[in-house]
Structure 1
Amino acid sequence: MNFTVIRSSGNIVRPSESTPSVTLNLSAIDKLPIYRIYVHSLHVYKHGDKTAAKVICEALSKALVPYYPLAGRIKETSDGELQIACTGDGAWFIEAYTDCSLESVNYLDKVLKMPKDELLPTLPPETYGINPLLRIQFTRFTCQGFVLGITMHHSTADGVGAAQIINAIGEFARGFRHPKIQPEWDREAVPPRLVRAYGETKPFPSPPIPDYQLEPAIFNISQDEINNLKSDFKELTGDYCSTFDVVVASLWCHRTRAIELKKQTKVSLIFLVNARRFLDPPLPEGFYGNCIIPVTITVSSGWLVEASNKEVVQLIRNAKARVSTKIKRWVSSDELDESGYPYASLFAYTTLCISDWISPGFDKIDYGWGPPVQMFPIETVGIIMPIAIVGLPPTPKKGIRLKTYCVHGMHLQSLQQYYKNGT
């Protein structure tokens, strides 16, 4: 998949109105080293017009008024604590265009083969002396469809928060005078002890360098397959389960069989849960900071490869059901609780990490020409933990698309075979 992208020089987009000049504290979760990164994503829109870049750029300027911390900068205190200096400096916006239509590249359906770096925003020149917390590249295709490459600092927002921010830009682009959800900074409402969910009471060490290379793969699971798995669970248990439950259970089983571990080997599944509603009191609707916590399930490889899909789905459901109780213990107890995940296990080949890109609602963001035909995160550095990203296939297809970096080369064919035979 080759096409040429020509970028403009880019420009700083400042808030359209004056904003507070203050320094804001981040929460204990915001400040974790694993969130001191930029997250990159691509959002593919089938339709647009000649005014689309201007409309979105102006909407960004308006959105930076209620979301003024995003126009600021990360700063570090003498004690090494991160804060946001609300300087009003702005976000970074690049307009670009290509020499082809989106249809000719199948709406970027071949996500593993596209020139992703060409569609993501570059940094401002060093002469600007800034590194914006939010960067956007608008790339117009000859069909007037467009791709938004969005880069956002993770310390400012989790997935739910990022979708809220970007959706506000879409609302301003569609003519709203105010976003439907009013943003709330409120980082002090996140109990500092909630960081215990991450299983570390001291600074995280540097990630270990794995002795394996993870190979990328894409697996599409049809809606019919998902419905069959959910129906089987309902028939066997009388309970309903989610699409996430059956898809993740299936992948975890297939992946464990593919890597052929000894039966007594411990294997772990790690996924993230939105903790906002489990806090007492719950966080306000407009809170957009980091409030996702990891849930870890550990069993023996032997048990997992012999278990039925129903048993693994129930294991996941039970783990999610315990989240509320665990949060209360992490927040209220003075005793150390080691039930969070150990940081080092993230990078073990016996662990599978799950990233859910459906729940936040990125697939519904509309700038005036309809929602995206697809969107997906982009990795700009080497993947060093076994991970599967749960997303949606390009519209109008139904079902789930898994983008995985969870096995090395010698095991990839085995994993692919399971999906050829169905889930």
Structure 2
Amino acid sequence: MAMSVIRTKRGMVKPAKETPLTTLDLSVMDRLPVLRCNARTLHVFRHGPEATRVIREALSLALVPYYPLAGRLIESKPRCLQIECSGEGVWYVEASADCTLHSVNFFDDVQSIPYDDLLPDHIPENEHVDPLVQMQVTKFGCGGFVIGLMFCHSICDGLGAAQFLNAVGELARGLNKPTIEPAWHRDFFPPQEAEAEAQPNLKLLGPPPMPDYQLQHANIDMPMDQIKQLKSSFEQVTGQTCSAFEIVAAKFWSSRTRAIDLDPNTQLKLVFFANCRNLLNPPLPKGFYGNCFFPVTITASCEFLRDATIIEVVKVIQEAKGELPLEFGKYLKGECVSGGEDPFAPPLTYTTLFISEWGRLGFNHVDYRWGPPVHVVPIQGSSIIPVGIVGSLPLPNKGIRLMTWCVKEEHKLPFLDHMHGAMDQEPL
């Protein structure tokens, strides 16, 4: 993709007003080692001629109620993460590109996106900062812009990050304050159980040997009428309803299984993370923006997935989701969950498939003054962990885009053939 990006300004954006200087405890879930990483995304907007200034000013305003995000992660003792609310701010980069978004097709082709140009570059060591949030706003010749975002996962899950960005958008549009008041509330684990965060009853497995394959990227686009037809067929056969996510997850898992063609007795896992805010008693407040989710792990044989209909696989997924309140409740109490293994550390092998639903997080509704994004692009975190992300088709299209990094090169074409063929014509 022939384009040049010039970064014109870098620096910290601090809260617009004085904020509390304090130290806040993170929750037991926030402190999970698996979350010690940055989530990276691109947000593509068709129009926004003054975006760099407007977003910078709104970001400063949003950091007043969301002041912990302007702080720093500290570790007072091993595995005891806290947020030092220092008011230092978030890292903000302004940039410009020498082309239009139309000329790069609004970055619809994920494989050719110049991520390093659109994400914030490395912060110089002499800045002595380690921000929780980093953002680059790149202007394009058409008046559109792209936000490259890096967010510390230890302080926000996807819902929380989207809540913060929507607050920035509301302030950019002139609201006096965000419509949702942020709530810290990181003490939802019972105090007596929080000390047992290592989950001593679980089998702690050593890291598996690292594979040497490179997973291939593929997008599968599904028009909404196709999804509705499959949901309708499910209801006609079972008398029950199912979600679009369940349909996509079932097709994804079974199609990939047929493509990789392992021994029939091989046990395969499907893992997705479910929001648990409403499973607590009382439920977490609406403005909570920390991590509160739990992995739903489903195990089935290669033979079952190869031969099962979409209805049968959806039923298996629904049964596993039905166990979520019980499994999450056990985890909160420090009890051994089903299987006895750490639910947050499933085996990272070719037989484990992760799927994540992004359509309901709220990123697609963020409006900084000029309308919502054309689309939101998640950035691959690993080339060896099979993953699929369920998002929306780029506007103005309506439907679902499954963004995947899930198969080795020799399995890519069979996977696409099974996926497209199954979506079009598989009997229910």
TM-score class, shorter-chain normalisation, is over 0.9
Specify the alignment match of 2:400 in structure 1: 400
Alignment partners' CA distance in 1, 2:365 and 2:200: 34
Specify the alignment match of 2:232 in structure 1: 231
Query: Does 116-125 or 26-35 show the bigger shift?
Result: 116-125
Deviations 1:26-59 (A, max 9, x none): 111111111000111000010112x221111000
Specify the alignment match of 1:153 in structure 2: 152
Alignment partners' CA distance in 1, 2:405 and 2:30: 25
SS of structure 1 residue aligned to 2:284: coil
- 1:246-265 mapped onto 2 (5 Å cutoff): 246-265=247-266
The amino acid that maps onto 1:361 is G
- 1:372-391 mapped onto 2 (5 Å cutoff): 372-379=373-380, 382-391=382-391
- 1:154-303 mapped onto 2 (5 Å cutoff): 154-191=153-190, 201=202, 205-206=206-207, 208-303=209-304
Alignment partners' CA distance in 2, 1:191 and 1:234: 40
Specify the alignment match of 2:73 in structure 1: 74
Deviations 1:163-190 (A, max 9, x none): 0011111011011111111111111124
Alignment partners' CA distance in 1, 2:325 and 2:375: 33
Alignment partners' CA distance in 2, 1:191 and 1:35: 21
Alignment of 1:20 onto 2:20? yes
Specify the alignment match of 2:108 in structure 1: 109
Specify the alignment match of 1:356 in structure 2: 357
Alignment partners' CA distance in 2, 1:199 and 1:137: 42
Q: Is the 8 A contact 2:91 2:133 kept in 1?
A: yes
- 1:11-160 mapped onto 2 (5 Å cutoff): 11-49=11-49, 51-160=50-159
TM-score by length of 2: 0.93
Alignment partners' CA distance in 2, 1:149 and 1:206: 31
Alignment partners' CA distance in 2, 1:61 and 1:245: 39
Residue 342 of structure 1: how far off its partner (Å):
5.2
Alignment partners' CA distance in 2, 1:196 and 1:79: 12
Query: Cα–Cα, structure 1 residues 338 and 413, in superposed 2: closer, same or farther, change >3 Å?
Result: same
Alignment partners' CA distance in 2, 1:73 and 1:172: 24
Residue 199 of structure 1: how far off its partner (Å):
9.9
Alignment partners' CA distance in 1, 2:113 and 2:138: 14
Alignment partners' CA distance in 1, 2:370 and 2:26: 35
Alignment partners' CA distance in 2, 1:200 and 1:364: 42
Deviations 1:136-160 (A, max 9, x none): 1000011111101111100010001
Q: Is the 8 A contact 1:294 1:340 kept in 2?
A: no
Deviations 1:293-344 (A, max 9, x none): 1000001110111111011111111211221122223334656654565566
SS of structure 1 residue aligned to 2:9: coil
Query: Does 152-161 or 116-125 show the bigger shift?
Result: 116-125
TM-score by length of 1: 0.94
Deviations 1:106-136 (A, max 9, x none): 1111111111111001233211101111111
Deviations 1:79-132 (A, max 9, x none): 342111110000011111111111111111111111111100123321110111
The amino acid that maps onto 2:393 is P
Query: Does 187-196 or 5-14 show the bigger shift?
Result: 187-196
Query: Cα–Cα, structure 1 residues 315 and 341, in superposed 2: closer, same or farther, change >3 Å?
Result: farther
Residue 214 of structure 1: how far off its partner (Å):
1.1
Alignment partners' CA distance in 1, 2:394 and 2:366: 15
Aligned-residue CA RMSD (Å)? 2.1
Alignment partners' CA distance in 2, 1:196 and 1:418: 42
Specify the alignment match of 1:413 in structure 2: 413
Specify the alignment match of 2:426 in structure 1: none
Residue 382 of structure 1: how far off its partner (Å):
3.7
Alignment partners' CA distance in 2, 1:298 and 1:98: 47
SS of structure 2 residue aligned to 1:312: helix
Query: Cα–Cα, structure 1 residues 388 and 174, in superposed 2: closer, same or farther, change >3 Å?
Result: same
Residue 357 of structure 1: how far off its partner (Å):
1.3
Alignment partners' CA distance in 2, 1:265 and 1:199: 29
Q: Is the 8 A contact 2:135 2:147 kept in 1?
A: yes
* Amino-acid identity (%): 46
Deviations 1:344-370 (A, max 9, x none): 644111111012111211100000100
Q: Is the 8 A contact 2:375 2:393 kept in 1?
A: yes
Residue 211 of structure 1: how far off its partner (Å):
3.7
The amino acid that maps onto 2:316 is L
Q: Is the 8 A contact 1:270 1:296 kept in 2?
A: yes
